Amino acid sequence: MRERLTFTLEATDKASSARAGRIETDHGVIETPVFMPVGTAATVKGVFHRDLVEQVKARIILGNTYHLYLRPGLDIIGRAGGLHRFSSWDKPLLTDSGGFQVFSLAECRRLTEEGCRFSSHIDGSKHLFTPENVIDTQRVIGADIMMAFDECPPGTAPYDYASKSLDLTLRWLDRCMKRYHETEPHYGHYQALFPIVQGVVYEDLRRHSARAVTQYDADGYAIGGLAVGEPAEDMYRMLEVVNEELPTDRPRYLMGVGTPVNILEAIERGVDMFDCVMPTRNGRNGMLFTWDGIINIRNKKWEDDFSPIDENSACFVDTTYTKAYLRHLTMAGEMLAAQIASMHNLAFYLQLVDAAREHIMAGDFKQWKEQTVERIGRRR
């Protein structure tokens, strides 16, 4: 078992803060920038692991602590030997802390210094998340990268709320780090713990948070509480502020973001890791992200379009199926429609970050990004 997660910075773009790097875990290497498909309940909806690896080219996927804790539960995951074995995924895994899900349960939760009491969305049963038991839970799950427990305030939160929330998150972080260092991995592989930078859209709070988390000399750092209601320009501004403070020799993970354009803008500002449900969730509802713009496959204009889903993609669903066929499946409510759309969107996201990496290595990311944002952001 390695002693800590390793991050190697391989290149920085000449005209921006974009970075290309390499993260080494006990379950494999992650080249960055990277997009992580979301496997909320131990599965990326509708996509076989074989296709995640061979077609999507996923290098790491994400599991959700809140959902896995409730179902199937820690007893089952522990007896299976951890989430890698339970789900038959042998590459790196990341788990969030459940903080965002708790935030989304505003009507069913109560925050205290101790932690967060909440009611299950499944059966209404009562539960308590604390900084300590969230670390214990992620130890049982066995992710290669774990997240500290935090409160995620809304993007429109007033300053006083944001400040008090951040103070609570930092006190919880201290308890998380203490628990992390007094416990051991369960399954013989190293587990990193990333603190989370919060502070809503207030520059002084974001700087304070970023400076506070770096004192722990963690393996990497997450940036949370963005893309939760604030304007995109405020998100980009906060990324610039935070990345001025975070160390350059550790990976930076922007949680829950976002659209393809969001991701390229964040890469330009120095972010390395991303996750979002958008590729699969929007795909299931007929939205396709392509190299030539965004498609609503339900539109009648695609009814007799027998061209491939995306001529510029190497994923087999894009070269095998036509827009007309996918529209037919979507309108008929066939399960295959969601599978094809999900795989297409995930493959596009991975191709996008891989292309970004190539251009960072070549030193021309900024120019490529400006052209690409205009191309992929338009509606077709």
Q: Which is the catalytic residue, given 96, 144, 219, 272? A: 96
Catalytic residue check, 364: no
Considering only CA atoms, give the Rg of the chain: 20
Contact predicate 116/150, CB 8 Å = no
What are the DSSP calls for 64-91, one per residue? Answer: EHHHHHHTT-HHHHHHHTSHHHHHT--S
Q: Which residues contact 270 (CB under 8 A, 6 or more apart)?
A: 17, 18, 19, 239, 243, 252
Beta strands in 195-285 (DSSP E): 196-197, 221-223, 252-254, 273-275
Q: Which is the catalytic residue, given 13, 51, 144, 275? A: 275
Dihedral angle of Cα 157, 162, 165, 166, to the nearest 10 degrees:
140
- Give the up-direction half-sphere exposure of residue 360: CA atoms within 13 A in the CB hemisphere: 27
User: If you count them, how many residues does the chain have?
Assistant: 380
Catalytic residue check, 305: no
- Identify the DSSP state of 379: B
Active-site residue list: 96, 275
